[in-house]
Amino acid sequence: MSIRIHELAKKIDMDNKSLLALLKERNFDVKTASSTIDNISAEALVEEFAKPAETEAPVEAETPKAAPAPEVVEDKPAQTSQVRLPAGVFVKSPADIAREKEEAAKALEAEKAAARAPAPVPPPPSAPVPPRPAAPAPTAPKPVSIPPPPPRAPAPPPPVSRPAPAAVPPSPPRAASAPSAPALPTKGPAPTPVASSAEKPAAAPAPAADGEIATIQVKPPIIVREFAQLLGLKPFKLISELMEQGVFASMNQTIDEAVAIDLAAKHDIVLEVKHRGEGQTPGQQQPTKKDIAKQKEKAAEEDEANLEPRPPVVCILGHVDHGKTSLLDTIRKANVVSGEAGGITQHIGAYQVSNDNGKISFLDTPGHAAFNKMRARGAQVTDIAILVIAADDGFKPQTDEALKYIKDAGVALIVAINKMDAKGANIDQVKTQMQQRDIASEDWGGETITVPVSALKGDGIDTLLEMIQLQAEVLELRANPQAKASGVIIESQLEVGRGPLATVIVQRGTLRVGDAIVCGKEWAKVRAMFDDQGKNVKEAPPSTPVRVIGWSGTPESGSTFTTVKNARAAEDMAEEEADKQKGQVTSKAAEPKEVSVEALFANIAATQAKTLKLVIKSDVYGSAEAVRGMLEAIQSEKVSVEIVANEVGLVTKNDVQRASAAGATILAFNTKLENGVTPQAKHHGVRIESFKIIYELVDATRDMMADMLDPDLKEVKLGAVEVREVFPLAKGFVAGCLVTEGKIIRNAMARLRRGKETVHEGKVQTLKRFKDDANEIRAGLECGIKLDDFNGYEKGDVIETFEVQKVRASL
């Protein structure tokens, strides 16, 4: 019998993270909050952490003589009643104690260093305000089976029943830090300075003295892993900070200098980027006082003290038809699947659900190969990824692709094995495949939280939500709602009556109606915002998905937006960016190109090749991207595709004119035609094709390309005869035949074979049944055949008839 960590945590009123750390410290083999430990150990822990409250308060318990708890365990196990040492519990060896002492000394030093820093001073230990004031010393000589963690005997009674995160590593008495640490990620004081300084390895820059800014120097390229070390952060922490700024990089990737400088400023560090061969100052711009002030302002925004818990952003990924939308649908209790064309998700949806434990923001991404960019984007903006795998189908190509995105983005993973109700569901097979991919499920000794579910029947959904909340708790997701809002564009589109609109996820700060935001070359004064239910909302705090209207155009999906001072500034910044982009395009075009003879001939050949020109209009930006990707992947040496325009919105008269001028066809994907477009297209002879399913669009495009080529000719055999006799006529000869196969039709093409040799090819000019002319004679009957003016028939010759059909050329 066993119990899950998160259940036990509730029982002993401790947060999951602390309990996990405590258990790991005590050598339990636990990995996540949904790992289990045996009941005996759990009971002992319950006793250890709950007992003080029950045995309220004998005053003498405060006296130091209550200290020698470790002795009880070590020296008198027999005396400790009938309770046996539970599995996983260990008695410390001298080596352990030596190691702990060393760690404790390090921690103490770190504490001292933190104390020197200008940090909020926690209340002195002498005046704790414990909720359970008269609790007895936790180390009272109770013969419990689990050794109480470290010898903290002389310390004052713990003011809270659950240990603070800082108390997790075995340490010597740290009276000052323990009482002040908040246990759960609720609003409240920032983590103690001890916790943050303990995170920093020795390589971290020494904290500067009061008000001073530490300086570190780097040489590009700035690699995330190395940069984290320089800042004294764990790489995953740095990755998540980068993500909060809308920068998505994995451990071994490089980041921009500007981003690195910004990030360093957040940690009160001035970053000096030294380019190779550069001296101290020339070339490299050093941060000015203004820069530093700006950086400090930003750092203040991100100050731990201002951070509040935020809902997790969860992305649902997986292979086509494995049930992503159904799963989300069941979670949302709304029917999205039936509204989708062909039952497949063609663009990303963002929704927020609330349950007893709080809110969760979900992103639904399409499973089709065509939408890989959208999936990658989904994985990038999320905290937790749910990989949906159908129990009756197992891993498929897009499952592996999604897993790759998840790993690259470094987000937490939960596997939902769906369709458990389906015939042929084989959970063991899926778990074997998980093991093969190094993501073994927890119950198979791995670390991946795995939840069997049935989206159709609703089984396992509560557990899945619980696991998401637990994972979120462990990740300690926080953001500053007071900061200037910034976030990521999930999707953008043009909507009739509303103009350009974008689904965004706010990552930092609170976005409000009236805010001015800028995103690349587009900007918006937020005119209105809608939640996933289409309800008008006035503000969107961190992790909230909202649809924003008021944009100058459709911003690019996946790009980040930030709030600026006012609409004027937003417009200026957007214009500046547009000019920059234009400049880049022109300068690229102006670059001299080397032309080889081969290239010259290739160019000549290319101009002779046929080109299918297309104007594409799609409902949303992501679809436009997917369509372009699919069309560009069509390989043909005979016909090429030229995309004249690829835009979001309705098909307009302007599009018809553009297509007419370019000789292009218009493809409308998931979008409609503006009034009056059809007659205008007819007038100009422009072809418009509409599609709701991307694969149909691609097939139709291939057909259009093939139709531009001369058709291939294909011979279809109609029948055959054997020459049995040769009869003389007044002029020439006729062959007396038996129809051996198919049928013989007058005027059909014919070929006379003698053995392997073709003697003559022509037409069946005369076809007679006895003396009468016939149009068609079937197998098994005799007939007379004369081919054109041919007369050289011999007994045993075979005459085959056939017709030539024109078929669409292959690409």
User: Can you give the binding site for ligand GTP, defined by CB under 6 A?
Assistant: 318, 320-326, 337, 343-345, 366-367, 418-419, 421-422, 454-456
Structural contact between residues 736 and 725, judged by C-beta atoms closer than 8 angstroms: yes
Identify the DSSP state of 620: B
Pair 764, 748: CB distance under 8 Å: yes
Sole residue written with tokens 């920093």: 200
Residues 5, 30 contacting (CB under 8 angstroms): yes
Residue nearest to ligand GTP (CB): 367
Distance CA 716, CA 696 (A): 29
308 or 421: CB nearest ligand GTP: 421
User: Is residue 151 within 8 Å of residue 65, measured between CB atoms?
Assistant: no
| DSSP secondary structure code for residue 372 in this structure | H
Distance CA 177, CA 124 (A): 9
Question: In sequence order, which ranges of 26-93 are alpha helices (DSSP H)?
Answer: 39-54, 69-75
Closest to ligand GTP by CB, 394 vs 736, is 394
**The token pair that represents 265 in the structure block:** 């400023």
Shortest reach from residue 434's CB to ligand GTP, in Å: 18
Q: Is 168 exposed, middle or buried (0-12, 13-18, 19+ CB in 10 A)?
A: buried
Give the chain's end-to-end CA distance (angstroms, integer): 64
Residue 461 CB, shortest distance to ligand GTP, in Å, is 10
CA distances from 500 to 330, 549, 675 (A): 30, 7, 19
Half-sphere exposure of 688 toward its Cβ, with a 13 Å CA cutoff? 27
- The smaller minimum CB distance to ligand GTP, of residues 14 and 370, is found at 370
Tokens found for residue 340: 């989708």
Contact between 414 and 464 (Cβ < 8 Å) = yes
Shortest Å distance, C-beta 331 to ligand GTP: 12
Kindly state the smallest distance separating residue 368's Cβ from ligand GTP, in Å: 6
What number of other Cβ atoms are within 10 A of residue 270's Cβ?
Answer: 19
Q: What is the dihedral of CA 289, 290, 292, 294, to 10 degrees?
A: 170
**Residue whose CB is less far from ligand GTP, 279 or 339:** 339
3-state secondary structure of 419: coil
Q: How far apart are CA 166 and CA 26, in angstroms?
A: 16
Closer to ligand GTP at the Cβ: 229 or 326? 326
Q: How far is the CB of 4 from ligand GTP (least distance, A)?
A: 24
Q: Nearest-CA neighbor of 272 among 253, 292, 252?
A: 292
Smallest distance from the beta carbon of 460 to ligand GTP, in angstroms? 9
Q: Which is nearer to ligand GTP, 361 or 480 (CB)?
A: 361
Q: Which is nearer to ligand GTP, 345 or 493 (CB)?
A: 345
Give the residue with the Cβ less far from ligand GTP, 17 or 322.
Answer: 322
- Identify which of residues 378 and 736 has a Cβ nearer to ligand GTP in the complex: 378
**DSSP bridge pairs for 617:** 647, 668
Least distance (Å) from ligand GTP to the CB of residue 367?
Answer: 3
From the CB of 532, what's the least distance to ligand GTP, in Å? Answer: 17
Q: How big, in percent rounded to 5, are the helix, strand and coil portions of the chain?
A: 35, 25, 40
Strand 733-745 relative to strand 712-728: parallel, antiparallel, unpaired? antiparallel
Shortest Cβ 386–ligand GTP spacing (Å): 11
CA distance readout (Å), 96 to 150, 153, 623: 11, 19, 59
Cβ nearer to ligand GTP, comparing 246 with 318? 318
> Which residues make up each annotated binding site for GTP?
318-325, 364-368, 418-421
Beta carbon of residue 337, minimum distance to ligand GTP (angstroms, whole number): 5
